[in-house]
């Protein structure tokens, strides 16, 4: 079983739709969870960071963590064409110089 | 807004040659990392560096790889004898003293011929 699994998509939705992106993981030692956005041939850009179960909201983005189910989600409200990118989930076991384990990434297209 | 920078943006080299990829982390950050992403695949951890020494390294980071912080600003990744399979995008990242979140540079695209 892969440590972190993420549906690679592609996912295509109309502008204004609510988008739900998900990752599951197998390692219960993961404590810190991140979502990155990656435009084509660019570096990952940090969107959201959480370390506890529950929801965290930042503008149009909501990150959700369910440690009991080993499941994390990113919701994008009022999606815009500029949100078209690959979304990567990432997680680590501890703070400090800890490696991030990434999902495959979900390629998202928002159609005007 | 401070950001991680990397040079060069692209590097083409012959198999067996040495390459050095350079990174300037965010200035007050203490933790430094290298990751790579082979085209179409996951971002993979290579190595983390703190207090002038390697904290953790992956199986990928074998004896052909080394890292160095030669001065107060640069962080380098050296590949001594490149192989075809080293062709990938290499990302540098850094995080602050809490080490909670890692900020990535734009990457160096390495092509080994």
Tens of pLDDT, residue by residue over B14-73, are 999 999 999 999 998 989 999 999 998 999 999 999 988 999 999 999 999 999 998 878
Contact B43 A44 (CB under 8 A): yes
Which of A43, A46, A102 is facing B106, going by the closest CB pair?
Answer: A43
Q: What is the largest CA-CA distance in chain A?
A: 41
Q: Tell me what the mean pLDDT of segment B85-89 comes to.
A: 96
Q: Is the pLDDT of residue A101 over 80?
A: yes
Measured CA to CA in angstroms, residue B73 lies from A89, B4, B48 at distances of 29, 11, 16
pLDDT of A7 reads 84
B31 interface with A at CB cutoff 8 Å: yes
A16-38: pLDDT as tens digits: 999 999 999 999 999 999 999 99
Of A88, A99, A101, the CB nearest to B56: A99
**Cβ contact, residue pair B33, A99, below 8 Å:** yes
Residue B8: pLDDT above 90?
yes
Q: Does B15 touch chain A (CB under 8 A)?
A: no
- Count the neighbouring beta carbons within 10 Å of the beta carbon of residue A36: 25
CA distance A103 to B74: 29
Hunting for tokens 């590949």 — which residue is that?
B79
User: What's the pLDDT at A59?
Assistant: 96
Q: Please compute the mean of the pLDDT values over residues A4-25 and round it to a whole number.
A: 94
∠ CA A20-A25-A31, rounded to 5°: 95
* Residue B103, min C-alpha distance to chain A (Å): 7
pLDDT in tens, A46-98: 999 988 888 999 999 999 999 999 999 999 999 999 999 999 999 998 766 68
The rounded distance, in Å, linking the Cα atoms of A13 and B95 is 34
Among B70, B29, B36, smallest CA distance to B52 is for B70
The answer to whether the CB atoms of B42 and A34 lie below 8 A apart is no
| Residue A80 pLDDT | 97
The predicted model gives B91-97 an average pLDDT of: 90
Banded pLDDT at A111 (limits 50, 70, 90):
very high
Q: Half-sphere exposure (CA, 13 Å, Cβ side) for A19?
A: 28
Q: What is the pLDDT of residue A8?
A: 80
What does the pLDDT read at residue B85? Answer: 95
Q: Is the dihedral of CA B15, B20, B24, B28 positive or negative?
A: positive
- The yes-or-no verdict on residue A108 having pLDDT over 80 is yes
All residues of chain B having their beta carbon less than 8 Å from the beta carbon of residue A101 are 45
Residue A96 has a pLDDT of 64
Q: Does A103 touch chain B (CB under 8 A)?
A: yes
Task: Say yes or no: B35 contacts chain A, CB-CB below 8 A.
Answer: yes
Cβ–Cβ contact B108 with A under 8 A = no
Do A101 and B98 count as a contact with CB atoms less than 8 A apart?
Answer: no
Residue whose tokens read 């609510």: A18
Contact list in A for residue B104 (CB cut-off 8 A) is 36, 43-46
Confidence grade of residue B101 (pLDDT, cut at 50, 70, 90): confident
């Amino acid at each position: 079983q892969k440590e972190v699994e993420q549906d690679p998509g592609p996912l295509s939705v109309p502008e204004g739709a609510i988008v739900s992106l998900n990752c599951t993981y197998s390692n219960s030692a993961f404590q810190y969870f991140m979502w990155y956005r990656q435009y084509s041939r660019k570096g990952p850009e940090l969107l959201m960071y959480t370390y506890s179960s529950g929801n965290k909201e930042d503008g149009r983005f909501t990150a959700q963590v369910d440690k009991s189910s080993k499941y994390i989600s990113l919701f994008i409200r009022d999606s815009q064409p500029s949100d078209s990118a690959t979304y990567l989930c990432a997680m680590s076991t501890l703070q400090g110089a800890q490696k991030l384990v990434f999902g495959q990434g979900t390629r998202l297209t928002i159609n005007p | 807004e401070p950001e991680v920078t990397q040079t060069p943006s692209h590097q083409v080299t012959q198999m067996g040659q040495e390459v050095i990829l350079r990174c300037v982390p965010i200035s007050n950050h203490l933790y430094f990392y290298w990751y790579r992403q082979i085209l179409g695949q996951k971002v993979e951890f290579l190595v983390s560096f703190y207090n002038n020494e390697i904290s953790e390294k992956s199986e990928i980071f074998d004896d052909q790889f080394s890292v160095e912080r030669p001065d107060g600003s640069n962080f380098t990744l050296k590949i001594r004898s490149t192989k075809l399979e080293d062709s990938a995008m290499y990302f540098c990242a850094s995080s602050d003293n809490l080490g909670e979140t890692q900020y990535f540079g734009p990457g160096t695209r390495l092509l080994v011929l």
